[in-house]
Every structure is written in C-alpha cells, then in structure tokens.
Amino acid sequence: MSEADLKRRILAEVQDELAAIEDALEANLTPHVGLVRAIAGHLLFAGGKRLRPLLMVLCARLCGYRGTYDIPFSTIFEYLHVATLLHDDVIDGGTVRRGRPAAHRIWNPPAVVLTGDFLLARALSIATRTGRVRILEVVAKVTEEMAQGEILQLQRKGKPDLTREEYLRIIRCKTAVLFEGACRVSAILADAPGEAEAALADYGHCTGLAFQMADDLLDYTEDGAALGKVPGADLREGKLTLPVIHALEQAPEADRRAMVEIITQDDFSAESFAALLNLLERNDGIGYTRRQAAAQVGKAKEALAFFPDSNVRGILMDIADYTLMRRS
C-alpha cells in the first residue's frame, strides 16, 4: 500500500478521535497569562499529527476502556511533546516548525522557554486529574528522561565518534519513552492487567524508535527534501544519526575518511552532501537504518499480538507501519 493510501485509511478510522483531541487541546490549555496562550498556541495549533495522544486513545480502547477521560488525558502527551519542541527550537536555533516560523523568531527566546515550562507543568497538572499516582509516576519519569535525552544529544553534538549505543540511548530518551508512556498510561487508565500494560509499553517503545529512525532517514532522502526539509539539517546541527554511524563503522578506510571530512565541516556544499549520500548508500547506512526501523515496527506489531484481533488493533498496526513510510 502507498503511503498516501495508508494515511487515508488511518485517518478515515480516527477522524472523530482526532477532532476530539483537537478540542481537548484547546480546552485544557487555559493559562491565565495571555502571552503564554499566544506562544503555546502558535505551535500547538499549527497542525501537528497528534500521534502521541492518538496512540493513547487507541490503546485505551484496545484495553476495553469505555470512559470519557481518555481524550482529555491524552493531551498530556501532546503538551509534553510541544514543550520539548519549544525548548529544542530555542536550543538549536531552529527556524521553521510545522510550517510556521519557530516561536523564538516571533517572541523573545526567554518567553518561549517559560512557555515550555508552563506546558510541562500543565501536562503534569492534567495528569494529577487522573487521580492515579502510577500515571503520574509514568509522566514524571518520561519528563525526566526526555530532559536527559536532550542534554545527552546536546553534549554529543558535533562529535563524529558518536557510537551506536549513544545514538540509541538518545533516541530512546528523547522519543521512545514518550510514545511508550502514552501507551502505558492508557492501560493504567483502563485498569488493564499487567501483561496488557507491558505489551502496550513495548508497542509504544518500538513504534517510537521506528518513528525516530525514520525521521532521521528523512534527513538523507528525497522524501525529506520533498517535504521542504533541508537535506542534511541534522548534520549541519552536528547531530550524527544512525545512517552515518553505521556507514562510518562499515566503510573501508578511504570512504570513512571521506565521510569524516564532510561531516566535520562547519557547513558543506550541495556537492559534498551529494558525495556523502553516495558514501552512505555504498556503505549501507541508508539500507541498514531502514532495516533497523522495520525491525522495530515488526516488534511493535508482535507486541500487539497479545490482544485479540479487532478494528482498533488493526489501526495500531497500520500506525506502526506508517511510521516507516511517512513522508511528514
């Protein structure tokens, strides 16, 4: 199935949920300071995919949850996500996000940092409304891990010797734990048995890893360029990702040296980047990353095997597949 067809199929199934999530994001924001609303809203209502809240809502359904709290509580995971995007963009000096100028280009960066703080706190406030300490534990832990993942990434920025283990640790902290948390919380909310919670946590974790690897691949593929992403943006920011790490490990000495020369440049020409892409292809960087992401999708879908077949399970399988195919 093509990416467009898969996307259409998923969206047809979840349009009501997405509309409800959208309303809840608006209804639960409510800062009493107008500027916070403006800055948070700028990014929050710029058409995100709402993948994290959607996963929570769908996983809750899969666990047989029939209450009405899943939608409001799912906003936790979008608020946390947007909080980290706001901080990230200030930190990396990102210029465009979700098709809009990054918030810190419109408002002053300190106000953007503080709005991120507010969203973190708001996410935790909403989590307290669940009345479940275990949900709060998950959300607080996710927030801790994400901050540490970002700092690890920052610390290793510009280092051409980033290892595969460090890369995996970074993407676990900065992406997978949030996906995992959203899926795990749904099981807790639904009072599902421990095995169901563990299965959903696995599903979320593996889907998150696949999502991030696919995201990292977009930096080196035409799909990414077609999206308006600047090819090589990660590398320009000094972020080494799996395609490069693997190719560097695999490459014969001459190729390795050629790659290092390009990636350690402060900036590189279109020709250099094209040469790098060639070297990545030749040394299996692209193919390997795709296979690794596909393996995570496979694991995510395996985890769902714990649950009997159902429409919701099918959508969650589709979403796992979609992370790998997605072009946006």
Strand partners, 74: none
Among 133, 226, 230, 305, binds its own copies (CB under 8 A): 133
Of residues 140-179, those binding its own copies (CB under 8 A): 140-141, 143-144, 146-148, 150-152, 154-155
Q: List the one residue out of 130, 121, 15 whose CA is nearest residue 72.
A: 130
Among 15, 128, 269, 278, binds its own copies (CB under 8 A): 128
* Size of residue set near its own copies by CB under 8 A: 43
Q: Is 317 in the site for its own copies (CB under 8 A)?
A: no
Q: Is 118 in the site for its own copies (CB under 8 A)?
A: yes
Count Cα atoms within 13 angstroms, Cβ side, for 304. Answer: 28
Q: List the one residue out of 310, 291, 123, 316 whose CA is nearest residue 202.
A: 316
Alpha helices in the chain (DSSP H): 3-27, 34-44, 51-62, 70-92, 109-128, 133-155, 164-171, 177-189, 194-218, 222-226, 233-236, 242-250, 253-263, 270-282, 285-304, 311-325
Among 57, 127, 209, 218, binds its own copies (CB under 8 A): 127
Which burial class, exposed, middle or buried, applies to 117 when counting CB atoms under 10 A from its CB (0-12, 13-18, 19+)?
middle
Q: What are phi and psi of 96, to 5 degrees?
A: -130, 140
Contact code string over 37-76 relative to its own copies, x by CB under 8 A: ----------------------------------------
Cα–Cα distance for residue pair 150/138, rounded to 1 Å: 18
Of residues 261-290, those binding its own copies (CB under 8 A): none
Q: Is 182 in the site for its own copies (CB under 8 A)?
A: no
Part in contact with its own copies (CB under 8 A); list of ranges 88-96, 183-191, 240-248, 307-315: 88-96
Among 1, 35, 96, 230, binds its own copies (CB under 8 A): 35
User: Tell me, what DSSP letter sits at residue 63?
Assistant: T
Nearer to its own copies, 79 or 268 (CB): 79
Residues in contact with its own copies by CB under 8 A are 31-33, 35-36, 87, 90-92, 108, 110-111, 113-118, 120-122, 124-125, 127-128, 131-133, 136-137, 139-141, 143-144, 146-148, 150-152, 154-155
